Structure 1
Amino acid sequence: MSEGVKDRYKRINYFKSELNNYRYYQQRLEELKLELEVIEYDLQGVKGISYGGTSIENKESQAEKDMKKMLLIQQKGEVERKIDSTKQAIVKIDYVLSMICNEFKELIMRLYILENTSYKEQLEKFKYTSLSTLKRDVDREIYRCIKSLY
């Protein structure tokens, strides 16, 4: 197999793995947004009402407060970077899916995103007689859409 063909299959397989991760990316994005909300809430420094006098045991020094705030700011930056990279992955997958023709889009969605079914299960539905022809056509359509991206 030539280097060009190997590279082509690497790209196709990479995109297929990204398709398999698509639902994970969506769930992870929601988790990260919630994590960011918690950090932003903590940064506001909202405190409960104290009905008693100030306790010496619970009183933090200004240095400790500043350290906690710096740590929260650092965590916020990390979470924001994770959100950005996750959004980029989702957008890239959506972009490629938008370029795929409708016949193959449904098939690819069934194979990799919605149902995680096998190629064999899709043979009849998409009126293919050969498993290798189905795989080849799917790979060809994916490559047509990703060759400029990956």
Structure 2
Amino acid sequence: MANTLKEKVLGIWSLVSYEVTDDHGNKTYPMGEDATGFIMYHPEGYMSAQMMSPNRPKYASGALHIGTQEEMAAAAGGYLAYAGPYEVDEENNVVTHHMSVSMNPTWLGDSQPRYVSLDGDLLEITSPPVIVDGKKQNTKLVWRRVQN
């Protein structure tokens, strides 16, 4: 049985929900209420997170890398991905993600703390509040452990 936070988060988790709440209690779903994705924590200290809106339009060309500017913008706008090392602060229940690769170049090389709590097979991850357009926003992701 896992005792440390690092041992408890190890494995593969499937996205249940991704929501943002502002300081007035208004909730939004950046990738829709039906967003899907995975986050993985490896025992060697690396992690990967990928999330997407499932209804992104396919490229008319049918090719992997050839789409119109509009198609590519819609595809990227509905997808979030990054990976890299992670570290665990057992005392404060914080997992810090270090973005070695990222779909969003703004996050490339960034390090971001994530507050984690576990309840059975559910992992809740929240990030420190950020100010967007003058409003405080809190992000919460809920993940369910993938069973073999």
TM-score under structure 1 length normalisation: 0.27
> Whose helix proportion is higher, 1 or 2?
1
Rg larger for:
1
More strand per residue: 1 or 2?
2
Q: TM-score, normalised by structure 2?
A: 0.28
